[in-house]
Structure 1
């Protein structure tokens, strides 16, 4: 019986949904017609027949409804039950196959997330750095609930299926692949490729799309940053600053610990930013510094007029103005959202 079911199920999996549903309805109607010929009057009403058909073909068989005539029992045993079981098994098998295919498609990076919104897209894969990057993103416990989408070219399945979505392609500069990431509607984009040339190419492709997402890119060579900035000043760039950290630690021992804590969301207080609301009437940096410390146990570090921070004023004078629309950088044990600050008290 099991071998027969497997055979019919495998054959039905090759059949289209239309043909399969047609087979189901034909079996449903022919079975009712045969029961009508057998004069099974207690089963013929629409609600009774549907209930009897479903419980019989799924082999549940509650027993509250059953054929009363000898012919009806024969038809149920040799036509209704075997035919219904095969059709039901085929439908369930085809559904299971569909969901498994969808799951495998997403695991292999062949999904389409073009309708995703307010998410974070990471272009590039590094076995060690990408894992750390994702840990740091999720280490911010009060971050906005944004999905994370990893986009890579390596031959692999989703390395972190419980945390990130995954897209894979032959080239991260392909328009079709980038469109599948939904980057037009993304909130943040991180570009961290294997080489500076790849990072530059991806950044230029993204800039051409005119996405509103804030783009951050990492380069090994500062000259590549200068080149990119000349074309795309809105992209925030990072480079290898290990030499600066090395010298700073030599001059001021323990500096590496401070830098690590300022950057990591996994260890102690760290650095965050918050945008000043548009209806804010303004205050001074000294007043902001005092207010954040007294009310939120946070330390204001600086103020910038733009999201890229190119015009950052770190530790400005106490009388420096803080106005609507600016970005305030601060250090705190956890993120402070704009709505959690009573700006009217400032």
Structure 2
């Protein structure tokens, strides 16, 4: 009991030094023109306070008494000195953090001491914990940090940990799609019933949801077309008709929501959307069916009665070669409906492009 009272006095001393340091840091600096000797004297007294406090803490942690260690750790946590606490890297700190159930600090301790696998496991557990107290954005951040931990020093490339790394990578990808769904619902909440929006926000923020449920319970019933495309890309599902239907809806929605005054501006906006999604999915041909999209864009250009230049330029910027683009237009000329035969115009333009190229 007497020892505990001594430790209480010890932490009171730390309180005094801490408060004095805070007080001095808030004191305006004195001008050297007004009493420079006073300024020098004050500096000599106040500057070492933080260093003195750290030296006292360091000395205390060299004591064999773990109760004293715990008193110091508790005091530092209460003061919000989390960075300084982890920097101590004391051997007794790990046991203290485990005993007091402080996973948010324990993973940082493991990471600092290059125990990346254990840090990643704690981060994954934190992200997967159900409940409304942690927003989805924080869960995504924890998972992303876990992946970084596993990739550090090639920890995740050890045979026994490689599977865990792949699981984490899959989890963070699905969690980001969940975040995309949440963001889309929040941005378009005027389109849905208020109760639907409220329930979606609560559930999507309360836990990590499997990709199948995200599709069946949110992307499909709420017609979140870009989210559906992201889910198909993530899952590796290959269904050409389904993907073409999704793209058709993305195109129609983009045109419907375009507020540009001219038809040409609407086509530019639409092509910008295609390019944006193309940067994400062009490496996955089944999710970015170039031939289908080219035909769809040409049909829209014909309906709007505008030039096809932006379409050609857009696909070239996405990395489609002139040769491939010409082949695609040749196929389009053979298959496209007669009323859309204006598609011959860009073929001619591409022929000239070859001559210039």
- TM-score, normalized by length of structure 2? 0.28
Higher-strand-fraction structure: 1
Higher RCO (CA-CA < 8 Å; seq separation 6+): 1
Higher-helix-fraction structure: 2
- TM-score, normalized by length of structure 1? 0.29
